[in-house]
């Protein structure tokens, strides 16, 4: 399969580092921060146009310290500096505070925007920070009980086209998982169309690639048409798992078959068949995906693949593949999932320091919550399938590491990352964030870990995390389902 390529640029991009900001302070220049991803069509377009122009690039190199960050590689930076999507074009002070910015800047506006920012900074280099107060995740909003919150989540269901909300339409898995679990338990007839309509529309609408297989990231219209055609490993892992569970629990063969189709896409395009593991994404290419037959596509260059192995999305795919191997009685898939888990752990794990975020020949970016928790869950799944206690021990190690380095003993809940002595002094990286979804998922995983290990400390951390997230749940829309699922898991232990 084609490999990923990063476009060359006339801009002298520097990586995110304390040194780059030190240079900005020494030279008294603002920072141009470009947040992008390798699969993002508009990121490529900005590289092809705005950043490729010789005069614009020269101006950037002369008046700014340009920093490029891959949002997949550094989700913690993206969480703090994203200004509405990718690409994000942010202008920062030398101390990393936001001066202004937005998303895509076309070439006919780029020179004017750069001149305006540069002149404003030269006139007021001491401009006060505009980034607002530190968000510690503790703001109380509207506390609802489980019944009320469940009703609020389901109220966002789109009865005509399935899914939740209007447009753009994302295939939110958690509220569908919640509806499925509650329906199986209660047989409430009002929940059945939530599941059936949504999965039929998601699985057999514009979001699914009927030629190569696999799901696109999201649709721009309410009826699941005009998708953004990048394919991400984590999206496909989550949807394959949902279709697999719905097919098994509801005895709907077409759902099980669609899960199998999705797994074939993942294995054919994103898997490393030799060493194990799955690559993170396949690029967006509207022209390629407009071809609606395999014969037409064979004459074209397929969209490129990003060859980084991300710990969190690989963990999710390990769990999905192990579940699928059981349903399909596929020993080969089970063995590949275990091999993939071991490859990523071998590359990313370091005793006492948890797992790094990604591997591309060496490990990068340690201390992110989602990696520790996703790998904990995958290890528990591997332990359940194989009976090998080493996986359970690894799950305990990662759980202890997350609690030791990221748990908030005073307020409950987990910060999104372990403090970094070098980066926590830079701008918004000083912010302590407790992401709602990541905390809810962590609580559910810790409940599983407590059951496997018998350690009550994991239960207490899960309970305190759920209490810390409770005041935030009502404002999360359909994503409040993550909290409800975690509460259900805690109640069932």
Q: What is the DSSP string of 442-474?
A: HHHHHHHHHHHH--HHHHHHHHHHHHHHHHHHG
Do residues 277 and 9 make contact, with C-beta atoms less than 8 angstroms apart? Answer: no
Instruction: Tell me which H or E stretch contains 98.
Output: strand 98-102
Of 128 and 485, the structure prediction assigns the larger pLDDT to 485
Query: Which range among 131-145, 302-316, 388-402, 423-437 shows the weakest confidence by mean pLDDT?
Result: 131-145
pLDDT at 251 > cutoff 70? yes
Average pLDDT for 203-229: 97
**What is the 8-class DSSP label of residue 385?**
H
d(CA 364, CA 308): 10
d(CA 31, CA 428): 14
Could you tell me the pLDDT band of residue 1, with boundaries at 50, 70 and 90?
Answer: very low
Average pLDDT for 449-466: 97
pLDDT in tens, 102-116: 999 999 999 999 999
Contacts 24+ apart (CB under 8 A), 461-467: 461/403, 461/407, 462/486, 462/490, 463/490, 464/412, 464/413, 465/412, 465/413, 465/414, 465/439, 465/440, 466/440, 466/490, 467/412
pLDDT at 126 > cutoff 70? no
Could you tell me the pLDDT band of residue 58, with boundaries at 50, 70 and 90?
Answer: very high
Could you tell me the pLDDT band of residue 425, with boundaries at 50, 70 and 90?
Answer: confident
CA angle 368, 356, 382 (to 5 degrees): 95
pLDDT at 64 > cutoff 90? yes
At 387 the pLDDT is 97
d(CA 29, CA 65): 7
d(CA 375, CA 13): 33
pLDDT at 213 > cutoff 60? yes
pLDDT at 138 > cutoff 50? no
At 8 the pLDDT is 52
Do residues 195 and 187 make contact, with C-beta atoms less than 8 angstroms apart? Answer: no
At 134 the pLDDT is 36
Percent of the chain with pLDDT over 70: 94
Average pLDDT for 66-71: 97
d(CA 428, CA 446): 29
At 493 the pLDDT is 78
CATH code: domain 146-491 is 1.50.10.10
pLDDT at 278 > cutoff 80? yes
pLDDT in tens, 305-349: 999 999 999 999 999 999 999 999 999 999 999 999 999 999 999
Do residues 333 and 34 make contact, with C-beta atoms less than 8 angstroms apart? Answer: no
Where exactly are the structural domains of the chain?
18-123, 146-491
Task: Please identify which residue in the block is written with the tokens 């279709």.
Answer: 243
* Average per-residue pLDDT for the chain: 93
CATH code: domain 18-123 is 3.40.30.10
pLDDT at 2 > cutoff 60? no
pLDDT in tens, 224-234: 999 999 999 99
Cβ neighbours for 448, distance < 8 A, ≥ 6 positions apart: 377, 380, 489
Could you tell me the pLDDT band of residue 139, with boundaries at 50, 70 and 90?
Answer: very low
Concatenate the DSSP letters of all residues of 161-188 into one string.
T-SBSSSSB---HHHHHHHHHHHHHH--
Angle formed by the axes of helices 54-63 and 107-123, nearest 10°: 20
At 340 the pLDDT is 98
At 130 the pLDDT is 45
Do residues 32 and 89 make contact, with C-beta atoms less than 8 angstroms apart? Answer: yes
Output the pTM of the full model. 0.93
At 128 the pLDDT is 46
d(CA 279, CA 232): 9
């Amino acid at each position: 399969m084609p490999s990923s390529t990063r476009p060359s640029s006339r801009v002298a991009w520097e990586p995110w580092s304390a040194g780059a900001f030190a240079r900005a302070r020494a030279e008294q220049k603002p920072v141009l921060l470009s947040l992008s991803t390798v699969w993002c069509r508009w990121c490529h377009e900005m590289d092809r146009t705005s950043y490729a122009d010789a005069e614009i690039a020269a101006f950037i190199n002369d008046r700014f310290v340009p920093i490029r960050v891959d949002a997949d590689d550094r989700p913690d930076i993206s969480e703090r500096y994203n200004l509405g999507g990718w690409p994000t074009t942010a202008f920062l002070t030398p101390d990393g505070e936001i001066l202004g910015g937005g998303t895509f800047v076309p070439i006919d506006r780029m020179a004017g925007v750069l001149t305006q920012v540069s002149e404003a900074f030269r006139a007021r280099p001491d401009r006060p920070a505009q980034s607002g107060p530190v968000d510690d995740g503790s703001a109380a909003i509207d506390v609802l009980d489980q019944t009320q919150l469940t009703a609020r989540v389901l109220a966002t269901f789109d009865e005509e086209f399935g899914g939740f909300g209007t447009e753009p339409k994302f295939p939110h898995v958690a509220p569908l998982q919640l509806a499925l679990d509650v329906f199986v338990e209660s047989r409430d007839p009002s929940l059945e169309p939530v599941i059936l309509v949504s999965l039929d529309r998601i699985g057999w609408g514009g979001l699914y690639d009927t030629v190569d297989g696999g799901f696109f990231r999201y649709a721009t219209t309410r009826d699941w048409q005009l998708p953004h055609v990048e394919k991400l490993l984590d999206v496909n892992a989550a949807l394959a798992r949902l279709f697999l569970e719905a097919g098994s629990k509801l005895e709907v063969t077409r759902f099980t078959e669609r899960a199998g189709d999705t797994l074939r896409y993942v294995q054919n395009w994103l898997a490393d068949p030799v060493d194990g593991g799955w690559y993170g994404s396949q690029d967006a290419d509207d022209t390629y995906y407009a071809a609606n037959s395999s014969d037409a596509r064979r004459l074209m260059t397929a969209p490129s693949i990003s060859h980084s192995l991300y710990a969190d999305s690989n963990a999710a795919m390990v769990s999905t593949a192990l579940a699928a191997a059981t349903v399909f009685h596929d020993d080969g898939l089970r063995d590949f999932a275990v091999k993939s888990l071991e490859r990523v752990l071998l590359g990313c794990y370091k005793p006492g320091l948890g797992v790094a975020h990604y591997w591309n020949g060496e490990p990068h970016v340690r201390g992110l919550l989602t990696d520790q928790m996703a790998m904990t869950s995958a290890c528990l799944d591997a332990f359940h399938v194989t009976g090998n206690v080493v996986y359970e021990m690894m799950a305990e190690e990662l759980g202890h590491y997350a609690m030791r380095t990221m748990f908030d003993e005073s307020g409950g809940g987990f910060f999104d990352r372990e403090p970094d002595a070098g980066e926590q002094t830079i701008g918004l990286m000083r912010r302590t964030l407790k992401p709602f979804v990541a905390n809810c998922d962590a609580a559910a995983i810790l409940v599983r870990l407590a059951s496997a290990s018998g350690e009550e400390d994991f239960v207490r951390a899960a309970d305190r995390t759920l209490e810390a997230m409770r005041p935030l749940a009502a404002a999360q829309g359909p994503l409040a389902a993550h909290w409800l699922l975690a509460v259900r898991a805690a109640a069932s232990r």
